[in-house]
């Protein structure tokens, strides 16, 4: 836009823009684009209708569970309708095109009912979320829901509109998209921790799957070309008379894709090993050994390596995702709290809800209690120290809250933040100790100087009148009164 403006001002003359000018213009344009995008985002996130009650209904757990049940029933209906459709197609084929069973009408009615429910739910979420429906955190799922409803509305419109051949083909194509509705079941993934973990692991392992597939294809290609080279020489040598081995080679190694398919089926275990091994043994014993080595390598080594890579990717994914880590920590915390609560009730044989020191030490000698505490890596050899750590208020008794909280506190591993805090506190304490030592050293030096000064003062001869040490200036009688002040200053 700036270039066109400058060209218009130049009235046809050529204008050469420097690289710095172009860079500044591009940077300014990018800043304007960023500002415009941010303004659009803020505008979309702004609330205008303020339907808070409707938003509360849409975000309520009961509403989500109801929609989950509707989606599940719709998936079951799609399966039933698909079964009826394929059954009627086979009946029509078996009757040579004379008998085409009709699909029950209740399936069509139920399809209209589910469409109405989906449309009402979509409109409710559009009115409740407004612009956040398109730019919020779940905008992909919202877009999928919108696409499903649009396809369903077009399908119903075409079905009720006419029955010519073009409409029939379009309706049949749209009915293929009904399977997309079943994908809405994946929306329950955030509510189910194991399913969310598996879906996220599958998503993150796509890169590893690509490279594993590429490596497997490369191995299949190299070994397939090698086996075809050996088979080619054998077929040429057997061209004079017929041979059953040649026919077997034709089946398994007549081309590079067929050879790769044979090796892949050997990898997954869907080929007759005995037939392939005997065929290659008739061709060449070395080739047979190479084939057996290939099968052993890909089934025992390569498959385990790929499985290990996928497991590592899954574990790293679980460790990096914040929501999965939080959910896992919550699950482990609930499990540990339940175990510790059950252990406290097992230790509290009297049923008073408190453990005194004597009973606690006696119960620590039980092997089952020691086995339970060893799960949390607790050292139960020193029961007195363990009880002192649990008894925070120093009352001489431990209730269930002190027991559970204390055990969870001691069970937690020290992380980097705890180490940094400990190091910082140690540094502060060291600086304080050094400062105190310096103060004591200064006081010691002052005390030593005072002691040396007193010793020197004691060595001076004292005046017979004032009883003070005599210095050089004291010999003058006129300045005898000032001698006391000089000595005091010293």
For 78-88, what is each residue's pLDDT tens digit? 788 888 888 88
Q: Summarize pLDDT for 29-40 with one digit per residue, the tens.
A: 555 555 566 777
- Going from N- to C-terminal start, the domains of the chain cover 52-188, 205-301, 417-443
Q: Which of 11-25, 215-229, 236-250, 461-475 has the highest mean pLDDT?
A: 215-229
pTM: 0.50
386 class by beta-carbon count within 10 Å (0-12 exposed, 13-18 middle, 19+ buried)? buried
pLDDT digits (tens, 9 = 90+) for 391-426: 877 788 888 888 888 887 776 554 454 566 677 778
pLDDT the model gives residue 6: 44
pLDDT score recorded for residue 318: 64
Helix, strand, coil percentages in the chain from 3-state DSSP, rounded to 5: 80, 0, 20
- Identity of the highest mean pLDDT range in 104-108, 249-253, 361-365, 422-426: 249-253
* Right CATH for 52-188 from 3.40.50.1220, 1.20.120.350, 2.60.40.420, 1.20.1250.20: 1.20.120.350
pLDDT at position 178 is 61
Which stretch of 199-203, 312-316, 401-405, 479-483 has the lowest confidence by average pLDDT?
479-483
Residue 97 has pLDDT above 80, yes or no: no
User: Which residues, 6+ apart, have CB-to-CB distance to 103 below 8 Å?
Assistant: 81, 84, 85, 88
Average of per-residue pLDDT values in the chain: 75
Across 213-222, 420-429, 451-460, which has the greatest mean pLDDT? 213-222
Spatial CB neighbours of 155, under 8 Å, sequence gap ≥ 6: 171, 174, 175
In this predicted model, which residue has the larger pLDDT, 225 or 359?
Answer: 225
pLDDT single digits (tens) 112-149: 888 888 889 888 888 888 888 888 777 777 887 888 78
The HSE-up count of residue 83 (CA atoms within 13 Å, CB side) is 7
pLDDT above 60: residue 344: yes
Nearest to 359, CA basis, from 383, 325, 343:
383
Per residue in 59-95, pLDDT tens?
887 888 888 788 888 878 878 888 888 888 888 888 8
Residue 28: pLDDT band (50, 70, 90) is low
Indicate whether 287 pLDDT > 60: yes
What is the spatial distance between Cα 323 and Cα 305, in angstroms, rounded to a whole number?
29
Residue 9: HSE in the Cβ half-sphere, 13 Å Cα cutoff: 7
């Amino acid at each position: 836009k700036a270039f066109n403006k400058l060209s218009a001002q130049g009235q046809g003359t050529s204008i050469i823009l420097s690289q710095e000018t172009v860079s500044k213009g591009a940077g300014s344009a990018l800043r304007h684009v960023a500002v415009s995008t941010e303004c659009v985002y803020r505008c979309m996130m702004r609330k205008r209708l303020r339907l808070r009650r409707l938003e509360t209904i849409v975000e309520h757990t009961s509403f989500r569970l109801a929609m989950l049940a509707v989606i599940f029933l719709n998936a079951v209906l799609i399966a039933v309708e698909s079964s009826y459709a394929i059954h009627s197609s086979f009946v029509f084929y078996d009757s040579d095109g004379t008998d085409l069973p009709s699909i029950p009408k209740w399936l069509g009615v139920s399809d209209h009912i589910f469409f109405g429910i989906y449309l009402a739910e979509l409109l409710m979420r559009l009115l409740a979320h407004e612009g956040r429906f398109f730019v919020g955190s779940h905008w992909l799922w919202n877009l999928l829901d919108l696409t499903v409803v649009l396809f369903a509305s077009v399908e119903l419109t075409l079905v009720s509109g006419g029955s010519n051949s073009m409409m029939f083909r379009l309706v049949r194509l749209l009915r293929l998209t009904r399977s997309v509705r079943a994908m809405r079941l994946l929306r329950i993934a955030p509510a189910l921790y194991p399913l969310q973990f598996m879906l996220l692991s599958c998503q993150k392992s796509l890169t590893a799957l690509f490279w594993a597939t590429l490596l497997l294809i490369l191995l299949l290609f190299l070994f397939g070309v090698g086996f075809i080279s050996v088979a080619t020489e054998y077929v040429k040598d057997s061209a004079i008379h017929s041979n059953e081995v040649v026919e077997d080679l034709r089946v398994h190694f007549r081309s590079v894709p067929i050879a790769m398919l044979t090796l892949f089926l050997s990898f997954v275990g869907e080929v007759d090993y005995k037939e392939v091994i005997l065929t290659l043994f008739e061709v060449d014993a070395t080739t047979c050994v190479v084939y057996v080595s290939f099968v052993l390598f890909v089934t025992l080594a390569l498959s385990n390596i790929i499985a290990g890579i996928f497991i590592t990717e899954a574990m790293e994914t679980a460790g990096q995702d914040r929501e999965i880590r939080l959910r896992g920590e919550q699950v482990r915390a609930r499990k540990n709290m339940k175990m510790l609560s059950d252990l406290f009730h097992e230790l509290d044989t009297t049923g008073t809800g408190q453990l005194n020191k004597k009973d606690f030490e006696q119960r620590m000698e039980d092997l089952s209690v020691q086995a339970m505490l060893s799960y949390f890596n607790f050292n139960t050899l020193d029961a007195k120290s363990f009880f002192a750590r649990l008894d925070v208020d120093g009352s001489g008794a431990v209730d269930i809250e002190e027991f559970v909280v204390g055990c969870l506190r001691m069970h937690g591993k020290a992380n980097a933040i705890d180490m940094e805090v400990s190091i910082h506190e140690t540094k502060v304490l060291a600086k304080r100790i050094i400062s105190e030592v310096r103060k004591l050293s200064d006081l010691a030096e002052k005390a030593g100087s005072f002691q040396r000064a007193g010793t020197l003062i004691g060595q001076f001869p004292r005046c017979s009148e004032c009883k003070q040490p005599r210095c050089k200036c004291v010999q003058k009688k006129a300045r005898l009164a000032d001698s006391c002040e000089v000595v005091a200053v010293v």
